[in-house]
Amino acid sequence: MSSTDDRLRGWRHHLHQIPETAFAERETSRFVAGVLRDLGFEVTTGVGGTGVVGSLTRGRSTRAVALRSELDALPIDERSGVPFTSKHPGAMHACGHDGHLAMALGAAAVLAEEGGFDGTVRIILQPAEEPGRGARAMVDDGLFERFPVDRLFGLHNLPGTPAGHLLTRPGPLMASEDNFTIRVAGRGGHASAPHLVIDPLVIGAEIVLALQQVVARNVDPIHTAVLSCTDLRTDGARNAIPSNVTITGDTRSFEASVQALLERRIREIATGLAAAHGATAEVTYTHEFAPTVNDEECVAIAGEAAIRALGEDRVRLAADPIMGSEDFGVLAGHVPACLAFIGNGTTAGEGGTPLHSHDYTFNDGILSAGVAYYREVVRTSLGSTRPHLLSPAGYERS
């Protein structure tokens, strides 16, 4: 194992032991800020709460490119069995953000030591990705005004995909997430006298069933959407019909018009069915994650870089979009950007265990691949001449 690999694994294993949840990533922020300073980066901390931005300039160009990673962990008790397990009970890097951070730091180290670019590279380390709040906090704190960039790139590991393979696509890559809560108020009473009540449980059941028709019968079939009711709770008892029912769930889509349609139909169906039974329904609908939509030219740069770093047989630029969500979408709404997936492995326990599992493990074997990709992304973006970009036909490579 090379000294470079040792350094990457050392960073990753240390970060894995100190997981911190959203906006509480103080120890993590101090550590990564210290590494960047030691590498010669100009470092700003406290951006959007606990966020960190490192900047390094070479040459005379005013162009700037950013690499983004996440700082936060999940509120999960770890049962992965690794020797460098979490030292913080109730917190675990179960999404691989420790690996993402190590790859970003590794790229920062290579670029600081080797150069090979003309302009400014920024390392953006974002808090609170998991709840979808950190990107907005950094933007509201003047991220792109204080640290302007021409392009932004990010990586996320993908269990179930061969280790070190890179997948992305132009346009929609990851969906938005909206949450809804429906509160149905009826009139409860004794289970032996249903004729004297307005049963919100029956109404709630009708609402849940009716909502299953929204995607099938209201969304244009050429668009993609998911509407899921995920919980139903009442204040009733075994022999008491409830007075109140609460239904919660979420929706996923790629376009603002579809988001608006889903919200409108949820409100219409819930309030209409409640009124038909003499009850009332109150709907709360919130936008949690923006869709991640990749810029076409950034994807072309990512493809050129990935082919040089990983080999053409490991790069797919026509990946299927997924209905999961990522806070990267907020950042991609402000600057041209590309998020890509890097395969974490296909075997359980060796990178194939699903994200957000208590026994998830990040595959250390992909760290160097992520660093190589990031290095080439920066050099392609900030080279002395404009890079030769893939034509749209190049997106069909796999």
**Ramachandran angles phi, psi of 90, nearest 5°:** 85, 5
**3-172+291-396 has which fold?**
Aminopeptidase (3.40.630)
Length of the chain measured in residues? 398
pLDDT at res. 348: 86
CB burial of residue 161 (10 Å; 0-12, 13-18, 19+):
buried
Measured CA to CA, the distance from residue 290 to residue 174 in angstroms comes to 9
Nearest CA-CA partner of 51 in 106, 129, 145: 129
Q: For residue range 259-307, what is the model confidence (pLDDT) as tens digits? A: 999 999 999 999 999 999 999 999 999 999 999 999 999 999 999 999 9
- Total Cβ atoms within 10 A of residue 248: 16
pLDDT at res. 387: 45
| Mean per-residue pLDDT, 248-254 | 98
Q: Which residues pair with 179 in a beta bridge?
A: 250, 286
Q: What does DSSP assign to residue 334?
A: T
Q: Determine whether the annotation assigns residue 156 to a binding site.
A: yes
DSSP 259-328: HHHHHHHHHHHHHHHHHHTT-EEEEEEEEEE--EEE-HHHHHHHHHHHHHHH-GGGEESSPPPBS---TH
Q: Determine whether the annotation assigns residue 130 to a binding site.
A: yes
Q: What does DSSP assign to residue 389?
A: P
User: 279 Cβ partners below 8 Å, 6+ apart?
Assistant: 184, 185, 186, 187, 198, 200, 203
Among candidate residues 20, 25, 70, 72, the one labeled active-site is 72
Among candidate residues 20, 25, 70, 129, the one labeled active-site is 129
Q: Determine whether the annotation assigns residue 356 to a binding site.
A: yes
pLDDT at res. 86: 98
Percent of the chain with pLDDT over 70: 96
Taking the domains of the chain in order of start, what are their residue ranges?
Answer: 3-172+291-396, 176-289
Query: What is the CATH number that goes with domain 176-289?
Result: 3.30.70.360
Q: For residue range 306-334, what is the model confidence (pLDDT) as tens digits? A: 999 999 999 999 999 999 999 999 999 99
Active site residue 320: no
CB burial of residue 363 (10 Å; 0-12, 13-18, 19+):
buried
Measured CA to CA, the distance from residue 282 to residue 267 in angstroms comes to 8
Active site residue 72: yes
Residue-averaged pLDDT of the chain? 95
Which pLDDT band holds residue 4 (cuts at 50, 70, 90)?
confident
pLDDT at res. 109: 98
CA dihedral in degrees (356, 358, 359, 360; nearest 10)? 20
Q: Which runs of consecutive H residues, i.e. helices, occur in 116-168? A: 134-140, 143-146
**8 A C-beta contact, residue 270 and residue 283:** yes
Q: What does DSSP assign to residue 386?
A: P
Q: Determine whether the annotation assigns residue 334 to a binding site.
A: no
pLDDT at 390 over 80: no
**Ramachandran angles phi, psi of 218, nearest 5°:** -120, -30
